[in-house]
Structure 1
Amino acid sequence: MGLKQEDILNNNSKNLNVSEIPVDKQKLAAPIKSAVDKFQLLPEFLKVRGLVKQHLDSFNYFVNTGIKKIVRANDRVVSDVDPSIYLRFKDVRIGEPSMTVDGITEKINPHACRLSEMTYAAPILVNIEYIQGSHGQKARLEKNDLVIGRMPIMLRSCCCVLHGKDEAELARLGECPLDPGGYFVIKGTEKVILIQEQLSKNRIIIDADKKGNINASVTSSSEATKSKTVIQMEKEKIYLLLNQFVKKIPIMVVMKAMGMESDQEVVQMLGRDPRFSALLLPSIEECAGIGIYTKEQALAYLDTKAKRPLYASSASEQDGRAFSILRDVFIANVPVRCNNFRPKCLYVAVMLRRMMEAILNKDAMDDKDYVGNKRLELSGQLISLLFEDLFKTTLAQVKKSIDGVLSKTSRSSALDPSQFLRRMEFITAGLERTLSTGNFDIQRFRMHRKGMTQVLARLSFIGTLGFMTKVSPQFEKSRKVSGPRALQPSQWGMLCPCDTPEGEACGLVKNLALMTHVTTDDDEGPLVSLCYCLGVEDLELLSGEELHTPNSFLVMLNGLILGKHRRPQHFANALRKLRRAGKVGEFVSVFVNEKQFMFGIKAVMFARV
């Protein structure tokens, strides 16, 4: 392919400029047909990327962006005893890998940690602002670079001392230049976090349960909250299943609680097909049978069904428990601004319509084993989830300590909230224990998973790389199911069809293909603005009747409904041209779903070729 060396030499001898060299453009643009020619690309691709880049990119995204988002979403601790006493986080960053012994801080490297059986970690530094006060005298103070815990550092990541070093420097630090990195050193042992296969976040999945009832489920994930919302049709009536409520709730009660008191408007949101309104009629009758017609009646009914929280916040007590659940937990990926629940009502209407389409036509059901309905959770996402839980636990304990001191009548010294923050060891101990044992126990999400980390195998170089690309299943290996074990056509080019263990894990534990690329998250803000510039009609400006008008498609970005567009093919072509021109991220997925009248844009983590 391309020009031969003799042609270039001949042209140079004729004193031609480089721009005047004749180029056979058709030959350069022609596809590579033979497998032998294609295989020559593989070593060049691996030289540029390596096999563990997905782990490094994921961890780098967490330490540079993800940790800041988590702290920004939970940046304030306010005392219930005295609301004027508060502690606010202004910024957070990861420092250099170091260790403090007897007040002396020394820099550390991975080789020294392996020999000394230490954890290769770096301090988590925060800038805080707080009120210090006692006996009516209060002062606002600031502290910078306060250590709240220690973060285990992935080797060869942007925070590691090995990052960007050449072979001579690596040899001086006792490291092999061929070692790919992508693992942690915990108490002197090399630990790797296995890639976890999960159902897609913020995506409506239609399936049936064991009893044959049709479900529409969404696993919501935002910086502040993570939850699972299930809408189920049982005995011709539609119910909401949410962990925060003690029993299933009629869906029309939920719609009225969110301010949609008119049954006619809900029917209009589903579309003009009379079959949809006929399927919704039993739920409307059930709501009327309970005697709920207004928003206030619906919220009062939901308050009686809501579970009591482990630790109540002042906001939930002030607004009502049911109201705070609907605002913060129910379909958490759809934000509620200024108590405007209309976007959530429209999202529920889309879920109901998808569910009813599946009842009328079984072909509309989703295949959970299809690769497009799955995401791969890498080291960065799993540590992010763990850090968020430990950070919220720390804040709850700091608040409890502040309230305990303020409730004492006799106090001699001034209250300093930053002291409580410095004493807490939840984050350091929690991260080290989880990575050491491999047991992820996150109480808030009822997540109890074992074997998430494994000791890195050093028996062979290929074995080490195999550990880095191993994909762990989302459920137990002892289940006697054939669907998840079968080879899916959609896995072609992304997952290796041969590399799977024998025995009970056969087909469940997979390996990434050699040229698989796992994308990291893109910033949504510019994409949202771009969509509106390209003719997407804002959801706030649409009535329920206009939501499903013919020849118009709903536009969804990462599972969030932006609005609708009347010329979907034109919109898709415009976005694809911008992507090819480099104006939009190269891994932003654009597709038109003709069956569901939906236009999807995805800029989230996913395995791609």
Structure 2
Amino acid sequence: MYQGLHYDPDNIIEEDGGDISQEDCWAVIQTFFNDKGLVRQQLDSFDEFVQNTMQEIVDENRNLVLQTIQGSGNEGDQARRFYIQFGQVYLSKPTMTEADGSCQAMFPQEARLRNLTYAAPLYVDMREKIAHADPRAPANRDKTNVNDMFNEDDLQEENQNPADFDKVFVGKVPIMLRSTFCVLHGLEDKNLYALNECPYDQGGYFIINGSEKVLIAQERMATNTVYVFAKSPPSPYSYTAEIRSAVEKGSKQSSSLMIKLLAKTAERGSTGQYIHSTIPYIKKDVPVVIVFRALGLVADKEFLEHICYDANDFQMLETLKPCIEEAFAIQSQEVALDWIGRRGTTTGATRDRRIKYAREILQKELLPHVGTEFKCETKKAYFFGYMVHRLLLAALGRRELDDRDHYGKKRMDLAGPLLASLFRMLFKKLTKDISAYLRKCIDTSREFNLNLA
């Protein structure tokens, strides 16, 4: 089958060695834009938001729990807990409601002429479940949140068949023209002419109150990347290592961490070049050695191995000596956690509560992209040591500083992430409004209707 075929590398090199002309480059560019168009990145970003991101945001905040305060002990006055759960999200094609109450499909040209917003209704499934507390179960009055007064084991369901509310209207979402949910999507030119639309209009914008609006992409620094910069006087620090840590998915805001190397001064000299870190929700800078000990690396050798990868690198080890001397009084994990907790927002708290607070900060706010679950201290210690290592490499002149304006360290937030941020904020407001409505109905002993919430 393959007889007569042979491999000739010289011939291949000769064929591939030809120069690519400028006309060839423009032919490739023309083919790309003929296939993708000029706004494909905006359309894909919006489709990702509608098809996946909206459901993920709803799933993150899907459970709403309210509980009545324990009453007098009578059967009709016992504590009850109400569960509201959000389910599947539905988005239809753009529609409009006429003055007579009729609902019909909306087209972009009609929205332009009548000063309407080209938007589609959003629906979500909701489920209601009610449980009451066992009268014999003691309430925990020490809990500050009424929803935590009873354990799940002490609750009994009142309605064995939870009430389902299918496709509850929650609002409208503006639709990007020519996206998957636009009525113009996939239409041929003759059909576009019939709807008074230009076939050369590639979309990628919105119609808000009859005006065409576009979402401009926003440039930002890449998250989960370590940057090392030099500081100039009068700053007390000579170098800083920074990172904006953000989980890949979820509504949690990015958490910033900064590690700072104190500059040499006439008072301190080279022996006073301490390395401190700025941790979220901790009012004062924390020496890096205390952070390592709070993460479980108590012995000096343990955290030195996480920072200095070569045991014979005496220059780097000598730079770290002032840090060890500064934290000499902190020699255990609990003492380090208590030291951090004292500088948090737990004013006047007990020692156990301060330690618990510091553990939660290190677990949830320190480098959350590494992990926010329990027992992530080892991984965070490795990454924290890597940041200190990068800082010292720049301070010792072994590695170049990072450039803030380098395009490789930039990211662009298109329509999808921008709308997701707005949708997340509005959905949280919706859950608060529903919670307030349910609380009012519970306090006045009225039946509630989730369609009206």
* TM-score, normalised with respect to structure 1: 0.57
Paired with 1:229 and 1:335, the residues of 2 have a C-alpha distance of 15
Residue 275 of structure 1: aligned partner: 315
Matched, 1:305 2:343: yes
Match of 1:45 in 2: 32
Partners of 2:101 and 2:19 in 1: CA distance: 62
Q: How far apart in 2 are the matches of 1:103 and 1:120?
A: 18
Counterparts of 2:38 and 2:56 in 1: how far apart (Å)?
28
Q: Please, which of 73, 93, 96 is the counterpart of residue 93 of structure 2?
A: 96
The equivalences for 1:141-220 within 5 A come to: 141-210=163-232, 211=235, 213-220=238-245
- For 2:48, give the aligned amino acid: Y
1:256 counterpart (272, 289, 293)? 293
Partner of 1:377: 413
Report the counterpart of residue 122 of structure 1 in structure 2: 120
For residue 145 of structure 2, what is the aligned residue in structure 1?
none
Larger radius of gyration: 2
Report the 3-state secondary structure (helix = DSSP H, G, I; strand = E; otherwise coil) of the residue aligned with 1:386: helix
Equivalent residue in structure 2 for 1:86, among 61, 83, 86: 83
The Cα shift of 1:269 comes to 1.1
- Give the gaps of 5 or more residues in structure 2: 6-10, 69-78, 134-155, 264-272, 347-352
Which whole-Å CA distance do the structure 1 matches of 2:428 and 2:363 have between them? 19
Q: Secondary structure of the equivalent of 1:85?
A: strand
Partners of 2:23 and 2:294 lie apart in 1 by 63
Q: Deviations over 1:13-52 (max 9, x none)?
A: xxxxxxx9xxx97787565522133223332221111111
Distance 2:396 2:379 in 1: 26
2:257 is the counterpart of 1:229: yes
Are 1:132 and 1:414, in contact at CA under 8 Å, matched by a contact in 2? no
Distance 2:35 2:405 in 1: 32
Structure 1 residue runs of 5 or longer lacking an equivalent are: 1-19, 309-316, 424-609
| SS of corresponding position for 2:186 | coil
Task: Give the 3 Å change call, closer, same or farther, for CA 91–300 of structure 1 in structure 2.
Answer: farther
Contact 2:245/2:367 (8 A) holds in 1:
yes
CA distance in 2 between partners of 1:403 and 1:297 (Å):
43
Q: 2:413 matched to 1:387?
A: no
The letter of the residue matching 1:332 is: P
Q: Within 2, Cα distance between the matches of 1:27 and 1:50?
A: 35
Change (3 A) 1:186 1:353: same
Conserved? CA contact 1:197–1:374, under 8 Å: yes
- 1:299 and 1:363, CA in 2 relative to 1: closer, same or farther beyond 3 A? closer
Matches within 5 A, 1:293-442: 293-307=331-345, 320-361=356-397, 363-399=399-435, 402=438, 408=443, 411-414=444-447, 418=450, 423=453
Q: Using the TM superposition, give the Cα deviation of residue 80 of structure 1 relative to its aligned residue in structure 2, in angstroms.
A: 6.5
Q: What's the offset of the Cα at 1:239? A: 2.2
TM-score (norm 2): 0.75
Local SS of the residue matching 1:168: helix
Q: How does 1:525-604 map to 2 (within 5 A)?
A: none
- Counterpart CA distance in 2 for 1:183 and 1:122 is 15
Please state how far the C-alpha of 1:104 moved relative to its aligned partner.
Answer: 4.1
In 1, distance between residues paired with 2:439 and 2:282? 29
Q: Quickly say closer, same or farther: Cα 1:323–1:130, change in 2 above 3 A.
A: farther
Looking at structure 1, the residues matched to 279 and 437 of structure 2 have their Cα atoms a distance apart, in angstroms, of 32
Task: Measure, in 2, the Cα distance between the counterparts of 1:254 and 1:401.
Answer: 44
Letter in 1 for 2:64: V
Cα-to-partner distance string for 1:320-375 (whole Å, 9 max, x where unaligned)? 44333322222221223334322222111111111111111164311111111111
Match of 1:113 in 2: 111
Partner of 2:153: none
How do 1:437-516 residues align onto structure 2 when only pairs under 5 Å count?
none
Distance 1:197 1:362, change over 3 A: farther
Aligned counterpart for 2:327 among listed residues 277, 284, 287 = 287
Q: What amino acid is the match of 2:194?
A: R
Contact 2:42/2:414 (<8 A) preserved: yes
Aligned alpha-carbon RMSD (Å): 3.1
Alignment match, 2:149 = none
Secondary structure at the aligned position of 2:303 is classed as helix
Deviation at 1:186, TM superposition (A): 1.1
- Is 2:338–2:354's contact at 8 Å kept on the other side of the alignment? no
- Shift in Å, 1:178: 0.4
Residues 50 and 180, structure 1, Cα contact 8 Å, conserved in 2: yes
Q: Distance in 1 between matches of 2:323 and 2:49?
A: 44
Structure-2 change in CA distance of 1:119 and 1:44 (3 Å): same
Partner AA of 1:378 in structure 2: L
2 CA distance for matches of 1:31 and 1:86? 70
Residues 159 and 259 (structure 1 numbering): CA distance in 2 closer, same or farther, change over 3 Å? farther
CA deviation string 1:236-268 (max 9, x = no partner): 222222442223222333333333333321111
Q: C-alpha displacement at 1:176, in angstroms?
A: 0.8
Residues 225, 328 of structure 1: 8 Å contact kept: no
Percent of counterpart pairs with the same letter? 29
- State the aligned residue count: 385
